[in-house]
Structure 1
Amino acid sequence: MKTVDFKNARGPDKLRVYAIGDVHGRLDLLQEMHRLIQLQNQKSPPFDWVVVHLGDYVDRGLQSRGVIDFLIDGQRKNHRILALAGNHDVGFLDFLNTGDTYGLFARYGGRQTALSYGVNIDFNNDLSIASGREALKEAVPTAHWDFVRRLPRSMIFGDFFFCHAGIRPGVELDHQNPEDLIWIRSEFLDDMRRYSKVIVHGHTPATEVEIRPNRVNLDTGAYASGRLSAIMIDGPNKSFLEATV
């Protein structure tokens, strides 16, 4: 199998690719990142461009509803706005469908997501969880259900494979388990092998963008750090953007 490393990896010809890390309800940072991308495109206009969002739009931050509205509106206006599924986005739907009191949504920031839809859920109270789930199902617009349901798990552009969490080492990219693509951590993060594509991912917060020969981690913990990170890939050239407010 032919492998590639970050230094030598190239984006597609005549297409500038941006990828943005985990947002987690920070609409302010997402809006600022899109402003920075627009400025970059005005400063040095590309032949064409796309923006790939790497998932985890909800939970923890206070504006999950606003983030999804922003992405839906962006996709409606421009086919270049792309979005992948994160485990928190899938966990949001799982809670709406099952009401799991021990799932990701209930344990890690779902209360903030519910509040963004005007629903207050006490996840330490079974009655509040049950009634809150029903209220949240009513409050979430159909467009939001459809948006999250339809999120793909991965995309490829040039020498780069984009997903939320990472890949299962030793498995061909077109045979990856969809659950690994949104959940995997140590088996992937600790693997030093080069793959057929450089993996661009988020999911595991780091204090800075992590650049390895085989992967790039763009999750800089935006909801807590106030720093949202992105990569710009333009042919052989790679650079990074950071949004702060």
Structure 2
Amino acid sequence: MRSRTAHHDSRAIDAAVPPNTRVYAVGDIHGRSDLLAETIARIDDDARRRPVEHVVEVYLGDYIDRGPDSSGVLDLLAVRLVRRHAICLRGNHEAILERFLRQDADALYHWSKLGGLQTLASYGVVPRSRSGFETPSAIRRSLMELFPREHELFLQCLRNSFVCGDFLFVHAGIKPGVPMNLQDPEDLYWIRDEFLNSEINHGKVIVHGHTPVDHPDIRQNRINIDTGAWRTGVLTCIAIEGASVLVL
């Protein structure tokens, strides 16, 4: 497992969070509870060594799927949400899980192509293979029976966006040129090229994940911190304080 050393990289940016405030933002986790536990320990250690009046933790979504321990990730984040008042955003993968749990068993077909079977397995739901056919409704019932109440409550607490100072935190990005109050949540979860290729000033610096990059991509109008943790073993966390963006 690769990990980043503290103070790996620091950049100044033409934006700032409020005084006496530090925001820790964490990219897409995708079932890697091991990396999340290590990142949480790094945040706690940094906050102890460099005290600041207001500490805000923001997790950018895509906690589940692909990696081996989605259930364990939600365990850790549910505790963080309660004890540290962490801001947990909804990613496209959580949106599909919620759709599957609440009303649409047929969402399983889409979900399974995005790593949903690994999430089901982390809760002890292993659909039978060719020898025994199970309907999506039966799989949904199995998951609902095993899905902890704490995880249901966690999903209910997810937000689509969060603003702090000159920064807007979302999962995937925003539709360029559209005011925040008119943004379609589907764009906040799913958008890629139209947002990624835009060089306009969005009014806020957008901190996002969703599209994996080799290294944190820090630009004047957006910051991408999805470093593909589930396959690379690198879960990126940045600390934003004043006008400084530090890769922790």
What TM-score does the superposition give when structure 2 sets the normalisation length?
Answer: 0.89
Q: In structure 2, what is the equivalent of residue 85 of structure 1?
A: 90
1:180 to 2:179 alignment: no
- The 1:36–1:128 alpha-carbon spacing in structure 2 relative to 1, beyond 3 Å, is same
* Contact 1:123–1:129 (CA under 8 A) maintained in structure 2: no
- The structural deviation recorded for 1:99 is 1.3
* Contact 2:87–2:159 (CA under 8 A) maintained in structure 1: no
**Aligned partner of 2:114 among 89, 95, 108:** 108
What SS does the corresponding residue of 1:75 show, helix, strand or coil?
A: helix
Q: Which moved more, 1:122-131 or 1:226-235?
A: 122-131
* Contact 1:209–1:220 (CA under 8 A) maintained in structure 2: yes
Deviation digits for residues 128-152 of structure 1 (CA, Å, limit 9, x no counterpart): 5443221111111122123213311
Q: Which moved more, 1:146-155 or 1:48-57?
A: 146-155
* Contact 2:173–2:188 (CA under 8 A) maintained in structure 1: yes
* Contact 1:100–1:106 (CA under 8 A) maintained in structure 2: no
What TM-score does the superposition give when structure 1 sets the normalisation length?
Answer: 0.90
1:121 to 2:127 alignment: yes
Question: Structure 1: any 5+ residue segments left out of the alignment?
Answer: 1-5
1:212 to 2:219 alignment: yes
* Contact 1:106–1:123 (CA under 8 A) maintained in structure 2: no
**Aligned partner of 1:70 among 76, 85, 88:** 76
Once the two structures are superposed, the pairs formed by residues 1-245 of structure 1 within 5 Å of their partners are: 7-79=13-85, 81-96=86-101, 97-100=103-106, 103-121=109-127, 127=134, 129-241=136-248
What SS does the corresponding residue of 1:135 show, helix, strand or coil?
A: helix
Q: How many residues align?
A: 235
- The 1:53–1:104 alpha-carbon spacing in structure 2 relative to 1, beyond 3 Å, is farther
Identity %: 43
- The structural deviation recorded for 1:16 is 0.4
Deviation digits for residues 6-59 of structure 1 (CA, Å, limit 9, x no counterpart): 721111111100110000010111111111111111221111201100001110
